[in-house]
Amino acid sequence: MTGEGLADLVVHALLEEHGTDVGTLWLVPGGALSADAAASAAALRFVDGSPGLGSDYFIGPVYGSILGLEDLTGDGLPELALSSGTEHEGGPFAPADGAVYVLASPLPATPGVTIPLAPSYALISALGAQAFGSAMAAGDLDADGVQDLVVSANEAQDLDGKFRGSVYVFAGPLAPGEYHEDAARNWVHAVGNDPYLDGGPGAMGTQLIATDLTGDGIADLVVTASSAAVTPQQLSTGEVYYLEGPLFGDPVVQDASGTLQGDPSVDGDNFGGIANAIGDTDGDGLPEIAFSGTGGRLSLRGNTFIVNGPVVGRVAALDRADTRFTGLADYDQAAFGAPAGDLDLDGTDDLAVSAIAVNGDTRGAVFLYYGPIPTGVVPIDVSPGATLWGDGGWPIAVAAGGDLNGDCAPDLAVGSRFSDSVSILAGGSL
- What residue ranges define each of the domains in the chain, with the CATH number in brackets? 189-425 (2.130.10.130)
pLDDT at 375: 95
Mean pLDDT of 13-26: 58
Could you tell me which residues come within 8 angstroms of residue 265 by beta carbon, excluding any fewer than 6 positions away? none
3-state SS class at 40: helix
pLDDT digits (tens, 9 = 90+) for 246-298: 999 999 988 899 999 988 888 788 899 999 999 999 999 999 999 998 888 77
pLDDT at 62: 41
pLDDT at 87: 57
411 falls in which pLDDT band (50, 70, 90)? confident
Strand positions, DSSP E, 219-350: 220-225, 239-243, 258-261, 275-279, 288-293, 303-308, 313-316, 323-326, 336-339
Residue 395, number of CB atoms within 10 A of its CB = 27
Residue 347 reports pLDDT greater than 70: yes
pLDDT at 54: 43
Mean pLDDT of 195-221: 84
Mean pLDDT of 199-223: 89
Mean pLDDT of 410-424: 79
pLDDT at 165: 87
Task: Name the nearest CA neighbour of 357 among 322, 320, 315, 393.
Answer: 393
Radius of gyration (C-alpha) of the chain in whole angstroms: 20
Mean pLDDT of 88-108: 69
- Half-sphere CA count of 311, side-chain side, radius 13 A: 27
56 falls in which pLDDT band (50, 70, 90)? very low
pLDDT at 120: 81
With beta carbons less than 8 A apart as the criterion, state whether 191 and 197 touch: no
